[in-house]
Amino acid sequence: MKEVERVKTYGFCTGVARALRILEKEAPIETLHDAVHNPEVAKRLKGKGIVKQDNLSEVQGKAVAIRAHGEPPEVYKQIEKRNLRIVDTTCPIVGRAQKLAHEFANQNFGVIIFGDKKHAEVQGILGNAGDHGIATSCASEAKDFLSHTSHIACLSQTTQRPNTFWSFVLSLPLAPSLKELQAVNTICPEVIRRQEEVAHLILKVELMVIVGGRNSANTQNLARICLDAGKAFQFIENAPGVSKLGPSSNFRVGVASGTSTPSEVVDEVVERIRCLV
């Protein structure tokens, strides 16, 4: 029997819980792209009449939902052109980052968004900066951009790690023409809390199990914390993944999860690990 300890904070974050509440109230409804980055949740939503469409052209109904990660303003315009009602589930914390990008761009700041430029949330924030913004996780990539702009604002994808954000800001190759640099930490407090809990728990266990969607940025960052600490970890999406845990010797296992992993899935994972002999 394994000794298992899970982090205190697990289950949906407030932003995901809010988005799911809105969608369930509006069901049946189509969402543009995945409502949240978790395959288990996507399956459950489908069963409740909440159907994902990959393109706006595929939407059949009279309304469409915007995901918790948000969308760029251009997408809102396209939806309005089609006269569809918008059910907006953008998380308010993502909305804050979008608003800041828009405000800084309006004041002629160059806006640098620290994060994965291909990620939906980053695309949404970047869209709010119009042609005043770039997104990157590599400071040297911002060199050209910095050489053209006297006022710079730096924001973060909400799921990043604070230390990597501040290291990024400090390593920006600043040009002599720079007059002002404002860095605003837009990382989600719930994400930070989960990261801190993982950082504590890894000190007490031999193996960490991180539960969440492979495409979930905040879950990936929990795994990175284990990786950076040299802690053995397994990244699984659901309870059946536990069977792949490996050797049956007695050891202590820590369990943590991303913000879009349902609490029941974490409970199932914990039970499965306990039952391993």
Amino acid at 253: V
Q: For residue 242, give both structure tokens.
A: 């536990």
**By CB under 6 A, what part of segment 125-144 binds ligand SF4?**
none
Determine, following the binding rule CB under 6 A, whether residue 66 of this chain makes contact with ligand SF4: no
Shortest Å, Cβ 212 to ligand SF4: 11
Cβ closest to ligand SF4, residue 137 vs residue 260: 260
β-bridge partners, 136? 114
Cβ closest to ligand SF4, residue 95 vs residue 151: 95
- In degrees rounded to 5, what are phi and psi of residue 34? -65, 135
**By CB under 6 A, what part of segment 153-182 binds ligand SF4?**
158
Determine, following the binding rule CB under 6 A, whether residue 16 of this chain makes contact with ligand SF4: yes
Strand ranges for the chain from DSSP E: 3-6, 29-32, 50-53, 63-66, 85-88, 110-114, 133-136, 151-156, 180-183, 207-211, 232-236, 252-257
Determine, following the binding rule CB under 6 A, whether residue 91 of this chain makes contact with ligand SF4: yes
| Number of other CB atoms surrounding residue 116 within 10 Å | 18
What amino acid positions are annotated as catalytic residues?
Answer: 121
Determine, following the binding rule CB under 6 A, whether residue 120 of this chain makes contact with ligand SF4: no
CA 236/CA 251 separation, integer angstroms: 18
Cβ closest to ligand SF4, residue 125 vs residue 255: 125
Q: Which residues bind ligand SF4 (CB under 6 A)?
A: 13-16, 68, 91, 93-94, 158, 188, 190-191, 218, 259
